A and B are shown apart, each in its own frame.
Chain A
Amino acid sequence: MKEQNSTHHLSAKPYIIGFIYSLILTIIPLVLVFNEMLDKVALIVSILLIACVQFLVQIYYFMHLKENENRFYIILTLAFGIVVVVTVVGGSAWVMNF
Protein backbone atom coordinates (compact mmCIF):
# COMPACT_ATOMS: atom_id res chain seq x y z
CA MET A 1 0.00 0.00 0.00
CA LYS A 2 2.80 2.34 0.89
CA GLU A 3 4.53 1.65 -2.41
CA GLN A 4 1.36 2.23 -4.32
CA ASN A 5 1.06 5.62 -2.68
CA SER A 6 4.59 6.68 -3.43
CA THR A 7 5.23 5.40 -6.94
CA HIS A 8 3.26 8.03 -8.82
CA HIS A 9 5.40 10.95 -7.64
CA LEU A 10 8.82 9.41 -8.01
CA SER A 11 9.63 11.07 -11.31
CA ALA A 12 11.79 14.17 -11.73
CA LYS A 13 9.45 15.31 -14.51
CA PRO A 14 7.18 17.61 -12.46
CA TYR A 15 10.24 19.28 -10.94
CA ILE A 16 11.82 19.84 -14.34
CA ILE A 17 8.56 21.20 -15.78
CA GLY A 18 8.15 23.47 -12.75
CA PHE A 19 11.73 24.72 -13.09
CA ILE A 20 11.32 25.48 -16.81
CA TYR A 21 8.07 27.37 -16.10
CA SER A 22 9.71 29.34 -13.31
CA LEU A 23 12.62 30.31 -15.61
CA ILE A 24 10.23 31.41 -18.37
CA LEU A 25 8.15 33.36 -15.85
CA THR A 26 11.29 35.19 -14.71
CA ILE A 27 12.52 35.99 -18.21
CA ILE A 28 9.18 37.37 -19.46
CA PRO A 29 8.98 40.24 -16.90
CA LEU A 30 12.67 41.07 -17.52
CA VAL A 31 12.00 41.36 -21.26
CA LEU A 32 8.83 43.40 -20.64
CA VAL A 33 10.60 45.84 -18.31
CA PHE A 34 13.75 46.34 -20.39
CA ASN A 35 12.06 46.61 -23.79
CA GLU A 36 9.58 49.25 -22.60
CA MET A 37 6.82 47.95 -24.87
CA LEU A 38 4.00 48.73 -22.44
CA ASP A 39 2.94 51.87 -20.64
CA LYS A 40 3.66 52.04 -16.93
CA VAL A 41 0.32 50.87 -15.51
CA ALA A 42 0.00 47.95 -17.96
CA LEU A 43 3.59 46.97 -17.18
CA ILE A 44 3.05 46.97 -13.40
CA VAL A 45 -0.17 44.96 -13.72
CA SER A 46 1.42 42.39 -16.04
CA ILE A 47 4.58 41.80 -13.99
CA LEU A 48 2.49 41.45 -10.82
CA LEU A 49 0.23 38.92 -12.56
CA ILE A 50 3.27 36.98 -13.78
CA ALA A 51 4.65 36.95 -10.19
CA CYS A 52 1.33 35.47 -9.02
CA VAL A 53 1.49 32.76 -11.71
CA GLN A 54 5.08 32.05 -10.61
CA PHE A 55 3.79 31.70 -7.03
CA LEU A 56 1.18 29.15 -8.19
CA VAL A 57 3.85 27.24 -10.15
CA GLN A 58 6.01 26.96 -7.02
CA ILE A 59 3.02 25.78 -4.94
CA TYR A 60 1.77 23.32 -7.55
CA TYR A 61 5.00 21.73 -8.75
CA PHE A 62 7.26 21.97 -5.71
CA MET A 63 5.40 22.21 -2.44
CA HIS A 64 3.83 18.73 -2.30
CA LEU A 65 0.31 19.82 -1.44
CA LYS A 66 -1.24 16.85 -3.18
CA GLU A 67 0.51 14.40 -0.88
CA ASN A 68 -0.64 15.90 2.41
CA GLU A 69 -3.86 14.51 3.93
CA ASN A 70 -4.58 17.93 5.40
CA ARG A 71 -4.32 19.70 2.04
CA PHE A 72 -7.82 21.12 2.32
CA TYR A 73 -6.90 22.87 5.57
CA ILE A 74 -3.55 23.99 4.16
CA ILE A 75 -5.28 25.56 1.17
CA LEU A 76 -7.82 27.20 3.49
CA THR A 77 -5.01 28.64 5.64
CA LEU A 78 -3.17 29.76 2.53
CA ALA A 79 -6.31 31.46 1.22
CA PHE A 80 -6.68 33.31 4.51
CA GLY A 81 -3.01 34.35 4.30
CA ILE A 82 -3.51 35.66 0.77
CA VAL A 83 -6.56 37.67 1.87
CA VAL A 84 -4.48 39.29 4.62
CA VAL A 85 -1.56 39.99 2.26
CA VAL A 86 -3.78 41.53 -0.42
CA THR A 87 -5.65 43.64 2.16
CA VAL A 88 -2.53 44.91 3.92
CA VAL A 89 -0.32 45.52 0.87
CA GLY A 90 -3.05 46.49 -1.59
CA GLY A 91 -4.80 48.66 0.99
CA SER A 92 -1.59 50.47 1.90
CA ALA A 93 -0.73 51.08 -1.75
CA TRP A 94 -4.25 52.29 -2.52
CA VAL A 95 -4.57 54.64 0.44
CA MET A 96 -1.38 56.46 -0.61
CA ASN A 97 -3.19 57.74 -3.71
CA PHE A 98 -5.23 60.21 -1.68
Chain B
Amino acid sequence: MASAATAHSHDHEHHDESSLRVFGFWIFLITDLILFAVLFATYVVLQGRYNGGPTEAELFSVPIFVTSTFILLTSSFTSGLAILQLQKGKVKSTVVWLLITVLLGIAFVGLEIEEFMTMVHEGATISTSAFLSAFFVLVGTHGLHVSVGIIWMTSAAIQLARHGINDVTTRKVNIVGIYWHFLDVVWIFIFTVVYLMGVM
Protein backbone atom coordinates (compact mmCIF):
# COMPACT_ATOMS: atom_id res chain seq x y z
CA MET B 1 0.00 0.00 0.00
CA ALA B 2 2.65 2.43 1.12
CA SER B 3 4.90 1.46 -1.77
CA ALA B 4 2.06 1.88 -4.23
CA ALA B 5 1.44 5.37 -2.91
CA THR B 6 5.13 6.28 -3.23
CA ALA B 7 5.24 4.90 -6.76
CA HIS B 8 2.24 7.00 -7.68
CA SER B 9 3.63 10.20 -6.21
CA HIS B 10 6.94 9.48 -7.94
CA ASP B 11 5.10 9.12 -11.23
CA HIS B 12 3.29 12.33 -10.58
CA GLU B 13 6.53 14.19 -9.91
CA HIS B 14 7.91 13.00 -13.22
CA HIS B 15 4.83 14.20 -15.01
CA ASP B 16 5.00 17.56 -13.23
CA GLU B 17 8.63 18.07 -14.11
CA SER B 18 8.05 17.22 -17.76
CA SER B 19 5.13 19.63 -17.88
CA LEU B 20 7.26 22.29 -16.23
CA ARG B 21 10.01 21.83 -18.80
CA VAL B 22 7.49 22.27 -21.61
CA PHE B 23 6.35 25.47 -19.87
CA GLY B 24 9.98 26.60 -19.69
CA PHE B 25 10.24 26.02 -23.42
CA TRP B 26 7.16 28.18 -23.98
CA ILE B 27 8.89 31.00 -22.10
CA PHE B 28 11.83 30.65 -24.50
CA LEU B 29 9.40 30.76 -27.44
CA ILE B 30 7.91 34.03 -26.19
CA THR B 31 11.36 35.63 -25.96
CA ASP B 32 12.06 34.36 -29.48
CA LEU B 33 8.73 35.85 -30.54
CA ILE B 34 9.89 39.20 -29.12
CA LEU B 35 13.11 38.92 -31.17
CA PHE B 36 10.97 38.50 -34.29
CA ALA B 37 8.74 41.39 -33.17
CA VAL B 38 11.79 43.68 -33.16
CA LEU B 39 12.84 42.49 -36.63
CA PHE B 40 9.27 42.97 -37.92
CA ALA B 41 9.20 46.48 -36.44
CA THR B 42 12.50 47.27 -38.18
CA TYR B 43 11.12 45.92 -41.44
CA VAL B 44 7.89 47.91 -41.18
CA VAL B 45 9.86 51.10 -40.53
CA LEU B 46 12.43 50.60 -43.31
CA GLN B 47 10.05 49.21 -45.93
CA GLY B 48 9.84 51.51 -48.94
CA ARG B 49 13.39 52.88 -48.39
CA TYR B 50 14.72 51.50 -51.68
CA ASN B 51 17.68 53.88 -52.13
CA GLY B 52 17.23 53.56 -55.90
CA GLY B 53 17.43 49.76 -55.64
CA PRO B 54 14.79 47.19 -56.59
CA THR B 55 11.32 47.13 -55.00
CA GLU B 56 9.41 44.18 -53.54
CA ALA B 57 7.33 43.77 -56.69
CA GLU B 58 10.48 43.52 -58.81
CA LEU B 59 12.18 41.03 -56.47
CA PHE B 60 9.57 38.64 -55.12
CA SER B 61 8.57 35.62 -57.17
CA VAL B 62 4.97 34.70 -56.40
CA PRO B 63 5.26 30.96 -57.27
CA ILE B 64 8.34 30.59 -55.04
CA PHE B 65 6.94 32.21 -51.90
CA VAL B 66 3.57 30.51 -52.33
CA THR B 67 5.32 27.13 -52.70
CA SER B 68 7.47 27.82 -49.59
CA THR B 69 4.35 28.67 -47.62
CA PHE B 70 2.54 25.45 -48.58
CA ILE B 71 5.68 23.40 -47.88
CA LEU B 72 5.99 24.84 -44.38
CA LEU B 73 2.25 24.46 -43.65
CA THR B 74 2.42 20.81 -44.70
CA SER B 75 5.51 20.27 -42.53
CA SER B 76 3.65 21.71 -39.55
CA PHE B 77 0.91 19.13 -40.21
CA THR B 78 3.38 16.21 -40.59
CA SER B 79 5.19 17.16 -37.37
CA GLY B 80 1.76 17.08 -35.68
CA LEU B 81 1.22 13.57 -37.07
CA ALA B 82 4.62 12.56 -35.62
CA ILE B 83 3.42 13.64 -32.16
CA LEU B 84 0.22 11.66 -32.68
CA GLN B 85 2.19 8.50 -33.52
CA LEU B 86 4.35 9.15 -30.46
CA GLN B 87 1.23 9.27 -28.27
CA LYS B 88 0.11 6.00 -29.84
CA GLY B 89 3.47 4.51 -28.84
CA LYS B 90 4.63 3.78 -32.39
CA VAL B 91 8.35 4.48 -32.59
CA LYS B 92 8.84 3.69 -36.26
CA SER B 93 6.05 5.84 -37.68
CA THR B 94 7.00 8.69 -35.32
CA VAL B 95 10.53 8.61 -36.74
CA VAL B 96 9.18 8.42 -40.32
CA TRP B 97 6.89 11.47 -39.85
CA LEU B 98 9.70 13.38 -38.16
CA LEU B 99 11.98 12.65 -41.13
CA ILE B 100 9.27 13.68 -43.63
CA THR B 101 8.99 16.95 -41.69
CA VAL B 102 12.77 17.37 -41.85
CA LEU B 103 12.75 16.78 -45.63
CA LEU B 104 10.05 19.41 -46.09
CA GLY B 105 12.12 21.75 -43.92
CA ILE B 106 15.16 21.14 -46.13
CA ALA B 107 13.05 21.88 -49.24
CA PHE B 108 11.88 25.13 -47.61
CA VAL B 109 15.42 26.27 -46.70
CA GLY B 110 16.65 25.21 -50.18
CA LEU B 111 14.01 27.40 -51.86
CA GLU B 112 14.92 30.29 -49.60
CA ILE B 113 18.65 29.97 -50.34
CA GLU B 114 17.88 29.90 -54.05
CA GLU B 115 15.66 32.97 -53.69
CA PHE B 116 18.43 34.85 -51.85
CA MET B 117 21.06 33.78 -54.42
CA THR B 118 18.89 34.99 -57.31
CA MET B 119 18.42 38.34 -55.57
CA VAL B 120 22.13 38.76 -54.92
CA HIS B 121 22.90 37.89 -58.57
CA GLU B 122 20.47 40.61 -59.63
CA GLY B 123 22.44 43.05 -57.51
CA ALA B 124 19.95 43.16 -54.62
CA THR B 125 22.27 42.53 -51.65
CA ILE B 126 21.89 43.23 -47.94
CA SER B 127 23.77 46.55 -48.39
CA THR B 128 21.77 47.78 -51.41
CA SER B 129 19.04 49.55 -49.45
CA ALA B 130 17.56 49.87 -45.98
CA PHE B 131 14.57 47.85 -47.20
CA LEU B 132 16.81 44.98 -48.31
CA SER B 133 18.85 45.04 -45.07
CA ALA B 134 15.66 44.65 -43.06
CA PHE B 135 14.33 42.02 -45.48
CA PHE B 136 17.43 39.81 -45.42
CA VAL B 137 17.77 40.03 -41.63
CA LEU B 138 14.09 39.22 -40.94
CA VAL B 139 13.64 36.42 -43.49
CA GLY B 140 17.21 35.16 -42.94
CA THR B 141 16.69 34.89 -39.16
CA HIS B 142 13.59 32.79 -39.80
CA GLY B 143 15.53 30.60 -42.26
CA LEU B 144 18.24 30.16 -39.65
CA HIS B 145 15.61 29.06 -37.13
CA VAL B 146 14.29 26.48 -39.60
CA SER B 147 17.86 25.24 -40.21
CA VAL B 148 18.38 24.82 -36.46
CA GLY B 149 15.00 23.05 -36.29
CA ILE B 150 16.12 20.61 -39.02
CA ILE B 151 19.25 19.61 -37.07
CA TRP B 152 17.31 19.47 -33.81
CA MET B 153 14.47 17.35 -35.20
CA THR B 154 16.93 14.96 -36.88
CA SER B 155 18.74 14.51 -33.55
CA ALA B 156 15.45 13.91 -31.74
CA ALA B 157 14.47 11.31 -34.37
CA ILE B 158 17.84 9.52 -34.01
CA GLN B 159 17.54 9.51 -30.23
CA LEU B 160 14.00 8.16 -30.43
CA ALA B 161 15.06 5.41 -32.87
CA ARG B 162 17.92 4.42 -30.57
CA HIS B 163 16.30 4.58 -27.15
CA GLY B 164 12.63 4.04 -27.92
CA ILE B 165 9.83 5.91 -26.18
CA ASN B 166 10.62 6.99 -22.62
CA ASP B 167 10.07 10.13 -20.52
CA VAL B 168 13.09 11.89 -21.96
CA THR B 169 12.54 11.13 -25.66
CA THR B 170 8.81 11.87 -25.35
CA ARG B 171 9.55 15.28 -23.90
CA LYS B 172 12.21 16.08 -26.49
CA VAL B 173 10.04 15.13 -29.47
CA ASN B 174 7.09 17.07 -28.01
CA ILE B 175 9.24 20.17 -27.53
CA VAL B 176 10.77 20.08 -31.02
CA GLY B 177 7.20 19.68 -32.35
CA ILE B 178 6.08 22.84 -30.56
CA TYR B 179 9.16 24.65 -31.91
CA TRP B 180 8.29 23.59 -35.46
CA HIS B 181 4.71 24.91 -35.18
CA PHE B 182 6.16 28.17 -33.84
CA LEU B 183 8.33 28.48 -36.99
CA ASP B 184 5.21 28.06 -39.08
CA VAL B 185 3.42 30.76 -37.08
CA VAL B 186 6.28 33.22 -37.65
CA TRP B 187 6.32 32.36 -41.37
CA ILE B 188 2.58 33.10 -41.66
CA PHE B 189 3.34 36.67 -40.61
CA ILE B 190 6.37 36.94 -42.91
CA PHE B 191 4.16 35.64 -45.74
CA THR B 192 1.50 38.25 -44.93
CA VAL B 193 3.55 41.32 -43.98
CA VAL B 194 6.60 40.89 -46.22
CA TYR B 195 5.45 38.96 -49.28
CA LEU B 196 1.71 39.58 -49.71
CA MET B 197 1.92 43.25 -48.76
CA GLY B 198 5.04 43.54 -50.91
CA VAL B 199 3.38 42.35 -54.10
CA MET B 200 0.00 44.04 -53.70
Which residues of A are at the interface with B, using a C-beta cutoff of 8 A?
6, 9-12, 15, 18-19, 22-23, 26, 29-30, 33, 36, 40, 43-44, 47-48, 50-51, 54-55, 58-59, 61-64, 68-70, 73-74, 77-78, 80-81, 84-85, 88-89, 91-93, 96
Contacts and interface: CB of A to CB of B under 8 A. Distances in A.
Contact of A40 (B177, B189, B200): B200
A19 B77 contact: yes
Contacts of A54: 185, 188
B27 interface: yes
Chain B, interface size category, equals 35 or more
Nearest to B184: A58
A10 B45 contact: no
B19 A70 contact: yes
A92 B45 contact: yes
Contacts of B185: 54-55, 58-59
Interface of B: 15-16, 19-20, 22-23, 26-27, 29-30, 33-34, 36-38, 40-42, 44-45, 66, 69-70, 73-74, 76-77, 80-81, 83-84, 87-88, 174, 177-178, 181, 184-185, 188-189, 191-193, 196-197, 199-200
Contact of A85 (B20, B34, B83, B177): B34
B184 A69 contact: no
A7 to B, nearest CB: 10
B44 A73 contact: no
